[in-house]
Amino acid sequence: MTTLDRNEIIKQSAKKDSYWRGVWRRLKRNRLAIVSAIILIIIALACILVPMFSKYSVSATDVAAADSPPTAEHLLGTDNIGRDLLVRLFYGGRISLGVAISVTALECVIGIVLGAVSGFFGGIVDTIIMRISEVFMCFPFLMICITLQSIFGTSVKVLIFILSILSWPSIARIIRGQILSLREMDYMEACRALGISNFRQIFKHLFPNVLAYVIVYVTLSMASVILTETSLSFLGLGVSPPTPTWGNLIQAARNLLILKSKWWYWVPPGTMIFLSILCFNILGDGLRDAIDPKMQL
C-alpha cells in the first residue's frame, strides 16, 4: 500500500468519524429525544430486572389475594386468580419488546438485502423484486395478520414470522432508492475499475452510506410493531395467555366492569404501551433530524 493510499484511507476514516460525531452532537441538542431514549432504557431494564428479582413468579397464584387493588404486598394489584400484576407487566414487556426487536431485525435483514440487490443490479432483477414488494404492500396489513394468525396459531414465533414477512417492503424500497443514486457516484466507478466484487461493492462501499437511514427506520419500526402486536393481542390473535404481553394484559379492558372499577388491570399496560410508542417515535424523529444532511453544520 502506497503512502498516498494510506493517507486517503486515514482521511476517509476521519471524515466518517466526524460525520457520526456531528450526528451525536446534533442529537444531544434535542432534549426531548434524549429524554425519550433514557425512558426507553429504563423500561427495558425494568422488563429485564423486575421479573428476575421479584419474589413472585409470573405464573404464581395467591387465591387469598385474588382481584385485589394495589397494596404494599402487590404494588399493582393482582388479577382474578391472584397473579401479581407488576411482575406480569414487566414480563409482558419482555415479550412485547422482544417481538418488536425480532421483527424489526428480521424485516431489516430481508429488506436491506433485497433492496440493495434491487438497486445495485437494476434491470430485470429490480423489476422482479419491486413487483413482489408491491404485491406484499397491496395486502390489507391487519386483515392478513389476523387471517394468518388464525391459520397458523398464536405463538410468539409465528407472530414474529408473519410480521417480518409482511413488513420488509418498506425498508427495501428505502434502501433501493438510496442505492440507485449512490451507485452512480465517482467512487463506485473507481470500485468497478479496480475489479472489486459486487458483494464488496454493495456491503462494503454502499451499505455504510445508507446505515443512517436504517437506524431511523429501526426506531420508527419498533413503535409500529409494538402497536401491531398490541392490536392483535387485544383481539385475541397475538400471543396467547397465559404468556403475558402488554397487548393481552390490556385485553381485560374489554370487560366493562373492569374498565370502570378495576383500573389496575389495564392502566399500567396501557401506560407502558403509550410511553414506549411515544418515545420510539420521538427518538426516531430526533435521529432523522440529526442525520439529515441539511442539519449539518
Least confident of 22-26, 33-37, 157-161: 22-26
* Dihedral class, residue 50 (left if φ above 0, else alpha if ψ from -120 to 50, else beta): alpha
The confidence score (pLDDT) of residue 201 equals: 78
Question: 119-147: per-residue pLDDT in tens?
Answer: 888 889 889 999 998 888 887 877 887 78
Q: Judge contact between 216 and 288, C-beta under 8 A.
A: yes
The confidence score (pLDDT) of residue 239 equals: 78
Q: In sequence order, which ranges of the chain are alpha helices (DSSP H)?
A: 3-29, 31-53, 85-121, 123-138, 141-152, 156-182, 186-193, 198-200, 211-234, 246-249, 256-261, 263-291
| Distance from C-alpha of 38 to C-alpha of 226, rounded to nearest angstrom | 18
Residue corresponding to grid cell 502506497? 2
Banded model confidence at residue 13, pLDDT cuts 50, 70, 90: very low
The confidence score (pLDDT) of residue 81 equals: 84
Helix axes 3-29, 263-291, angle to 10 degrees: 140
CATH of domain 19-54+85-295: 1.10.3720.10
The confidence score (pLDDT) of residue 272 equals: 92
pLDDT at 23 over 80: no
pLDDT, average across residues 177-200: 77
| Distance from C-alpha of 47 to C-alpha of 59, rounded to nearest angstrom | 16
pTM: 0.83
Query: pLDDT exceeding 70 applies to what percent of the chain?
Result: 92
| Distance from C-alpha of 274 to C-alpha of 220, rounded to nearest angstrom | 14
The confidence score (pLDDT) of residue 106 equals: 93
Q: Judge contact between 250 and 263, C-beta under 8 A.
A: no
Phi, psi of 84 (to 5 degrees): -70, 120
Q: Which grid coordinates are listed for 23? A: 450526528
Q: What does R_g of the chain's alpha carbons equal in angstroms?
A: 23
| Amino acid identity, position 210 | V
Cβ-based neighbour number of residue 296 at 10 Å: 11
pLDDT, average across residues 21-44: 88
Q: Judge contact between 170 and 110, C-beta under 8 A.
A: no
Question: 34-92: per-residue pLDDT in tens?
Answer: 999 999 999 999 999 998 888 888 888 878 878 888 888 888 888 888 888 899 999 99
Question: 229-283: per-residue pLDDT in tens?
Answer: 888 887 777 777 788 888 888 887 777 777 788 888 888 999 999 999 999 999 9
| Distance from C-alpha of 93 to C-alpha of 75, rounded to nearest angstrom | 17
pLDDT at 2 over 60: no
Q: Which residues are CB-contacts of 147 (< 8 A; sequence separation ≥ 6)?
A: none
The confidence score (pLDDT) of residue 5 equals: 45
Question: 190-243: per-residue pLDDT in tens?
Answer: 777 777 777 777 777 777 778 888 888 888 889 889 988 888 887 777 777 788
Beta bridge partners of 84: 78
Cβ-based neighbour number of residue 289 at 10 Å: 17
